[in-house]
Every structure is written in C-alpha cells, then in structure tokens.
Structure 1
Amino acid sequence: MDPTLHFDRRIRPGAHPVTTTPSKTIREAHLSNEQLTAFAAELDQLRAEQVSTYGDRDAKHIRRMQRRAQGSAIVGRSLLMFGWDPISWVLGVIALAHAKILENMEIGHNVMHGQYDWMNDPTLNSRTYDWDIVCDKEHWKHSHNVEHHDHTNILGRDHDYGYGMLRLTAEQRWNPATLLQPVWYALLALYFQWGVAVHDVKFGRFLLGRMSRAELRQRSMPFFRKAGRQLFKDYVFFPLLAFWQWPRVLLGNLVANGIRNLWTNAIIFCGHFTEDARVFTRAEAKGETRGHWYLRQIRGSSNLEGSRWFHVMTGHLSHQIEHHLFPDIPALRYPEVAPRVREICSRYGVHYNTGGFWRQYATVLKRIVVHAWPTRPARRNGPESVAV
C-alpha cells in the first residue's frame, strides 16, 4: 500500500518538513518549531508501528464485517418480503438499516480510504470497491480523501466544512437565508446520502457562473448513473420481487435508508463540528510543516466515547482524531492507538477533544443554531497562535 495515499505530498510521512515559518501559521502558542518537529516524529513513529504489524487480525475483522452486513441484509429483506405483520416489518427495517450502516461506515468508508489495499483482495480494494449508497465512489474519493483530508477545516479549501449549506463559524459569510439553516440541517440529515452524492458535482459553481453547462453535464453523469442504479435496486427491483406486497417492501427500504442517513450524519457531524473543533484560514495553513498538519487534524476533530459495538457502528469514526491523523490504517486500530495519541497530546499540551455522543451532538446543534445568526469572528490570541 502506498503510505502517501491520503496525505498532501509535500508533508508525507518521511518527508523533510518545511523549515521556514510563515508569518501566519497553525501552532499552539506555547510550542516551538523544535517541539512541533518532535511532536510530528512521535506521531509518525506511531503510524509506522501500526503499518509494520498489518496481518490476519485486520483481514479477519473486515471479512467478518462483510459477512455480518450481508447476513443482516438478507434477514432484513426476507422479513420485509415474506413477513406479514407490523412486528416483522419493524424487525426487517432494523436489520436492513443495520446492514446499510455497517456497509457504509465500517466497510465502504474504510475500504475506499485504502485501509485494506495491502490484502490484494479485489473485493476490499479502494480502486474497485463500490458502496451501497447513491454517491459515486470516484466523486467521494476526490471530495473526501483529497479535498477534506488534505485540507481539514480550512475555509475555502475543505468543501466538507458545512457542505456548502451551513454556516458553522463566524468567519463564514452570513446572509438572511442563513437564519433557516436549522431547517436546512434537518433536511440534510434526513437525505444525507444525497447531500454527499451531489457534493463533488459542484452545482454551486454552476449557479455562480463559474462552470459551463457542458462541464456540469459531464460532472453530473457519474452521479446520475450511480443514483439511478441505487433507486432501481431499492425502490423497483426488490419491491417487484415481492409484488404481492410491494408497498411494504418499498416503505421498508425507504425507512431503512432514512435511519442510515440520520445515523451517519450525526456521527460525521460529531466528528467535525462540535463546539471545540477549530476552523482555519488559508493563511494559517500556508507552508505548514508536518507538525502543523498533525496539529490541524487534532484541533479540527472530535472523538466520541462508547462501547466496542458503538465504535464499529460508527465505522470507528468515533475516533475521528485518529482517523484524521492516520486515514489509511485499518480503523480497527484506532481504539488501540487513541490512548497513545491522547498521551502524546497531553505531554505537548495539545487539546484532545472527546466526550459522549449526546454531549458532543448537543454542541453541534448549538453551533448550527448560534451561527444561523450574524455572529462576529472572535479575536484570536495573536496572528500566530491557536488557543489550546
């Protein structure tokens, strides 16, 4: 597996860090450049240790997740197609939603990050895997693996920040329509797979006159092809298989997709938009070193605490800090490396943002409501500092 797969090439593991310090950059006020270099070296070493121990345990885990998702989908669809009472319908919806969440979060998301490319298994390779969602895989890999992970929380570079719909910091421009963003967020959560799917089409650029109609048509075709296949599968093919009670199957698929959308939205927003998650300017990120890059990933991310099964159902994105630091190592490793990352952060005085799901999600909702109003940017602690 290419160890530089999801990193900006100029600050890849093993590369020499930028030696000059720009006038504005991402740093903790109390950390010197030497300390940041040491900070990065410790995290690089932690990553190297994980890469060197890939093996059967990781392969068995992801294949077990595949079997579990497939089995749950079979149970769910069977209950929807051959059941007749409300209880079997509810159980069928739960089983199908569980399968879709597991496939999207623990399997699809992580496989398409290249976490299992080293296995040389075409069913688990980032170049060939396609997930059970309306989003085209190549669109997602560009908008997420490149734009988001390389430029995490940099305004104007990370287009995942607010998904082009939400104002989540006072540094973003306010307009009267922003007052309705709690409504926009509710709609985005309910139809989240569609928001993700159209994200890399860049329709907003077309509306602003920055994209031609021909380019929009070209960018839209992969989305329409993938969305068409998914709509046919869930809302035509499977209902027709149970033609004697097709409304029951169609409604079950619709609700299962809705549950998956709400869950994935909540987990992803908790990982990126809690009250303590920092946002950065382009000037701050200009010429950043490896240490600055690691620091930005930590300060722009949030973790969730929970049980082992909770972590699996989040695709281990409950360890968003570790995922942003090491996006291409198997997610199964995140709970194991998290205590060491937290200890490193503690020694260097870097804030490690973690908490329970409901507490973290409450701060997300608060952020959405607060910045619906014309808030002003807070004063920073000098042009070269980021408060701990």
Structure 2
Amino acid sequence: MDAPRRYTPTRPRDTAISQGSSFTPLAQQVRELGLLRRRYGYYWTRLVAAPAAVALCLLVFSWIGDSWWQLFTGAVLAVLFTQIAFLGHDAAHRQIFISGRWNDWISLILGDLLVGMSYGWWQHKHTRHHANPNKLGSDPDIELPVIAVTTESVASQRNRSFAWLQAHQGLLFFPILLLEGISLHASSVRRVCSRGRLQRRWVEIAFLVVRLVGYPVLVFFVLSPGIAATFLAVQLGVFGFYMGIAFAPNHKGMPVVPRGLVLDFLSRQVRMSRNIRGGRFLDVLMGGLNYQVEHHLFPSMPRPHLRRAAPIVQQYCETNRVPYTQVGLFTSYAIVVSYINRVGLGERDVFTCPLVQSRAAIGTETLHRGSGGAAGE
C-alpha cells in the first residue's frame, strides 16, 4: 500500500466537496434488477436453523459431560454465535422483513438472547458508523478503547499501559482480538444499564440475563470448575477473534475523513470501504461483510444479492472515477496491521484522505479524478 501524502487543509470547517457524479442512476439500476427484493426463503431457512443449531450444540454439550473434549464444543459454539451475529446484523439493517418491528424482534432474539450482544447498543453505534464511516468525531468504530486507528487517539492517550499497547499494537493486534468477545458483552451490559434512552430496555435486560448468566451457570453445572473456566475462555476467545477478523478488514487502513469535511453519499461510502475478494465460501465465512462497499451503499440489500451487485457497483465507480478498493483476505490483514502499527508508532499522516489531498493541491471544490494512496489499488 502506498504511503499517503501529507494533507494541509486549505479550507475552513464544513468544507463541501462535490463528487461530480450521482448515486441515483446506480440506485435505479440496482432496483430495476430486483436486487433490493426480500429473500424470505433464504432467511427463513437460517432463522429456523440458528436456534435449532444452538439447541443441538447444547444437547451434545450435555451428552459429552465433564470432559476436556468440550473445548471443541466451545469452539463450535463460538463459530455458531458469530454466524448468528451476522444474521442479526442483517435483520438490524432491515434486510430480512419489510416490517421494521419484525426485524427489531429478530435482532433482539438473535443478538441479545442467543449471542449476548445488546441490539440497542449495536444499533446506536452502527447507525453512526454507516452515516459517516471513518470520519473523525462521527464514527465510533475509529474510537476504540485499546487499538488506536487515528493519530489523535495516540496523541491523547495518557495511560502508560495503553500507550505501550498502542506502540506495539501492530504486533499485538490478533492476540488482542481474543478479548473482543468479552468487550462486546461488557459494552452491551453497560448500555442496557445506562440512563440513556433505549427502546425495549427490559426485554433486552431479560434476554441478556438468560444468555450471560444462565449460559455460564449451565456450563459450570455440567463441567468441573477447571474445565468450565477453560471452556468459557476458548468459546469467548474464538468468538471475539472471529468477530474481529470479520469486521477489521472493512475500513481499517482506509482514508480517515477530517472533522467538518462533507462528502457526497457515493464518495463517503465507497472511498472509505474495502471489499474482500473471494468465492462463496468466503461469503459464508464473513457473513457478507466482504462486500462492504455494496453493503454501505445499499444497507437493506439482502445478503445473497451483494455478490450480484458487486460487479455493477464496481463498473459504475470506474466509469465515474471513484476508487473502488478490492483486495484478497490476507492482503487486507497485512494492510490493517501495517496501518495500525504506523499509527501506534506515531506516524502523523497515516490517515490522510487522498480525496482531500487532491482538492487541497488544485484548490477547487469539484473532483474530476480520484487520487491513489490508501483508497485504491
């Protein structure tokens, strides 16, 4: 990945940059091809299979009993919980049903009851992310507690332990992901116990109590303390690691947008997102998140249609000179690790947005060409 060039702001806060091409023709083309139509058969199959698979795993867990073989059961449950989280993500984006109420309840059941993640917490956080991906002060996904993805985070860090972690975060990135499961559960509990507005708070509390209290009680009831603790460590570690490696390639290492910069919808979503190249197995493995560009442009598009939409979106972006980033899975991880390593070491300009650079260089608000750097291959 080419090193970004330095950005020197030349315009005041709330600068607007016009893309010069419209999102409307693309949206119309996608709609006419039927790519926004619901896929009820696809989703009902998975909605029935998800709780059935959890029930089967718990029956196998009870049948095996107090044995170290249960560590494999824990790993299987971790993968299953992650796949269910992907399904909950689809429901939260209104991909499954037309009815918002139905989607909400499916998200509550899948997220809170089966996975142990608060739907209200995720919805609040994820909505802000989709509105302004990779924008300073707006996207909560670049304001992480341990991993720093912007130089602002490094500069403002006063805790010596966290500062040391950030300085070595490139090396520690994958091991830290083993703790992501605990972080997701803890954030969910904090959210439902906070004083902020939260719809269906008591439903979420009830579901989370069943999942986060009842599940460990079952584990310690069936297993001896040592095996039970190891089982939970494996399940939480694999779950967090899987969630982390599925979401990390989407935006990390892509341009970070300065505060006050206003971009049109197409540029805002395409330039800050990265697709992962691969076959149908990767589609299943990553829950459709490998089509991040298409997902950000059409959040309510059913997951199985993303593959069909990708070449259409790519061609449209190329025609309109909007950089469309697509790399292999392992290449994406190399980019992410290299990026956060440079951020942690204090390199000042790793987050420069090439779009802003090009405008600063030519001194005009109309973009005719996208520049290279982190946004394109």
The CA deviation at 1:118 is 1.3
Whole-angstrom distance in 2 between the partners of 1:271 and 1:168: 13
Moved more, 352-361 or 45-54: 45-54
Q: Does 1:149 align with 2:130?
A: yes
Q: Which residue of 2 aligns with 1:44?
A: 27
Q: Does 1:24 align with 2:15?
A: yes
Whole-angstrom distance in 2 between the partners of 1:255 and 1:319: 29
Whole-angstrom distance in 2 between the partners of 1:133 and 1:363: 30
The 5 Å alignment of 1:88-107 reads 88-105=69-86, 107=87
Checking the alignment, whether the CA contact within 8 Å between 2:270 and 2:293 is kept in structure 1 is yes
Q: Does 1:252 align with 2:234?
A: no
* Cα deviation digits, residues 95-144 of structure 1 (max 9, x gap): 32232121011x11111111123168847756754413333211111111
After superposition, the Cα gap between the structure-2 partners of 1:198 and 1:296, relative to the gap in structure 1 and judged at 3 Å, is farther
Checking the alignment, whether the CA contact within 8 Å between 2:36 and 2:300 is kept in structure 1 is no
Whole-angstrom distance in 2 between the partners of 1:249 and 1:64: 32
Checking the alignment, whether the CA contact within 8 Å between 2:97 and 2:103 is kept in structure 1 is no
Q: Does 1:281 align with 2:258?
A: yes
The CA deviation at 1:226 is 6.1
The CA deviation at 1:352 is 1.4
Partner amino acid for 2:85? N
Checking the alignment, whether the CA contact within 8 Å between 1:201 and 1:220 is kept in structure 2 is no
* Cα deviation digits, residues 250-292 of structure 1 (max 9, x gap): 5434422321210111111111103xx111123222xx4xxx1
Aligned length: 335
Checking the alignment, whether the CA contact within 8 Å between 1:270 and 1:361 is kept in structure 2 is yes
The CA deviation at 1:148 is 0.8
The CA deviation at 1:333 is 1.1
TM-score, structure 1 normalization: 0.74
Whole-angstrom distance in 2 between the partners of 1:73 and 1:47: 36
The 5 Å alignment of 1:166-181 reads 166-170=147-151, 174=155, 175=157, 177-181=162-166
TM-score, structure 2 normalization: 0.76
Q: Which residue of 2 aligns with 1:272?
A: 251
The 5 Å alignment of 1:176-325 reads 177-181=162-166, 182=169, 185=173, 188-197=176-185, 217-219=194-196, 228-240=209-221, 242=222, 245=224, 248=227, 251-274=230-253, 277-285=254-262, 288=263, 292-325=264-297
Q: Which residue of 2 aligns with 1:19?
A: none
1:63 aligned residue (27, 44, 62): 44
* Structure 2: gaps of 5 or more residues: 1-12, 373-377
1:117 aligned residue (91, 94, 97): 97
Whole-angstrom distance in 2 between the partners of 1:352 and 1:164: 30
After superposition, the Cα gap between the structure-2 partners of 1:249 and 1:119, relative to the gap in structure 1 and judged at 3 Å, is farther
Whole-angstrom distance in 2 between the partners of 1:260 and 1:308: 22
Identity %: 20
Whole-angstrom distance in 2 between the partners of 1:353 and 1:325: 14
After superposition, the Cα gap between the structure-2 partners of 1:216 and 1:246, relative to the gap in structure 1 and judged at 3 Å, is closer
What secondary structure does 1:118 align onto? coil
1:138 aligned residue (107, 120, 123): 120
What secondary structure does 2:94 align onto? coil
Whole-angstrom distance in 1 between the partners of 2:99 and 2:220: 36
Checking the alignment, whether the CA contact within 8 Å between 2:277 and 2:326 is kept in structure 1 is yes
After superposition, the Cα gap between the structure-2 partners of 1:53 and 1:134, relative to the gap in structure 1 and judged at 3 Å, is closer
Partner amino acid for 2:241? L
Moved more, 300-309 or 262-271: 300-309
Checking the alignment, whether the CA contact within 8 Å between 1:170 and 1:376 is kept in structure 2 is yes
Checking the alignment, whether the CA contact within 8 Å between 1:271 and 1:317 is kept in structure 2 is yes
Whole-angstrom distance in 2 between the partners of 1:310 and 1:236: 35
What secondary structure does 1:280 align onto? coil
After superposition, the Cα gap between the structure-2 partners of 1:359 and 1:349, relative to the gap in structure 1 and judged at 3 Å, is same
* Cα deviation digits, residues 66-106 of structure 1 (max 9, x gap): 3433343234323332226978535423432232121011x
Partner amino acid for 1:138? G
Moved more, 86-95 or 228-237: 86-95
